[in-house]
Amino acid sequence: MNDTLPPVVPYIGRFAPSPTGPLHFGSLVSALASFLDAKANQGRWLVRLEDIDPPRTQPGADKKILCALEAHGLHWNDEVLYQSSNLPAYRHIIDTLISDNQAYYCDCSRQMLKNYPVYPGFCVSNDKLTSENAAIRVRVKDEDLVFEDEIQGRQSQQLRKDIGDFVIFRKDGLVAYQLAVAVDDSRQRITKVVRGSDLLDSTFRQVYLQKLLQLNTPGYAHIPVIIGTDGKKLSKQNYAKPLDPKNTSNNLYLALKALKLEPSRDLINAPPSELVQWGVVHWDIGKIPRKLGIEVHLP
């Protein structure tokens, strides 16, 4: 009988913002949560810039994001990965899925699909379509997808019924977010993804692609997104204010409180490094409530 225990897989976490603008408070909370979870588990924390949507990318935003992370004491391991460096690998995977009949071309317009919450499969049998002016959809199997979220609990979805065959390559010639994330989480050997609950629904498609491509599936923990007093999620689309680099200590103090860690008031003006280290020592993911949004009153 072999009593040898399996090797412990080193923890690798990540923060993966899109360089579409500077960091705001909501993104700081997500970054801090993923950092604290990694460091509290003696792991490594990576930064990946998801820059595969050039029309939405803001020039210089990547540098602003990285400077903001450093100013708040969130220092990453290894080199920053830019998703745009992996475009040939994405294309190879997509071509393989096409040749294996796991994906197909689709020329449906948004106008054609506006009344269909689930893709109805108009192009699934149209073998006359080519890559010209067409998206590419992956064929979804008729099965339940289930995963355990460390914060939100057990999650399940029937992709065929709820989503249908989904896009992995866009009509405008850009790789879809779902494929790029699934591939790069495997490429970076990510073992745990801590991110906002606004991405909870995307997880099913990413897990599906991981299984289809025989990639490792990380663990997931989706924290509640930060909601402003107007009831809207803090996001670039909702014109959330950029982080004030002069108030890094206050930003971190409020972020720790948003994560239900309750730092004492004497830490309000502590240096970022001290606040972050306090957060690592006192990190308890079990304190984060199982809900999708938390209202925060910002000064």
Asked if the domains at 12-84+189-295 and 87-179 fall in one CATH topology, the answer is yes
pLDDT of 108 above 80: yes
Strands 219-223, 192-196: pairing kind: parallel
Is 51 a residue whose pLDDT tops 60? yes
- The CATH number corresponding to 87-179 among 3.40.50.720, 3.40.710.10, 3.30.230.70, 3.40.50.620 equals 3.40.50.620
Question: What is the per-residue pLDDT for 132?
Answer: 77
Question: What's the token pair of residue 183?
Answer: 């591939």
Domain 12-84+189-295 sits in which CATH superfamily? HUPs (3.40.50.620)
**The pLDDT value given to residue 275:** 97
226: helix, coil or strand? Answer: strand
Is 294's pLDDT higher than 90?
no
C-alpha span between 256 and 153 (Å, rounded) = 22
State the DSSP code for 77. Answer: S
* pLDDT, the chain, mean: 91
Residue range 212-262, pLDDT digits in tens: 999 999 999 999 998 866 666 655 555 468 888 889 999 999 999 999 999
Contacts of 287 (CB under 8 A, 6+ apart): 259, 260, 261
CA-based nearest residue to 222, from 148, 128, 142: 148
At CA 174, angle to CA 168 and CA 175, rounded to 5? 35
The model's pLDDT over 128-185, given as tens digits with 9 standing for 90+, comes to: 777 778 999 999 999 999 999 999 999 999 999 999 999 999 999 999 999 999 999 9
Q: What average pLDDT does range 185-189 have in this prediction?
A: 96
Residue 273 — left, alpha, or beta (φ > 0 → left; ψ -120 to 50 → alpha)? Answer: alpha
> pTM here?
0.92
Mean pLDDT (whole number) for 37-48 = 97
Sorted by where each begins, the domain ranges of the chain are 12-84+189-295, 87-179
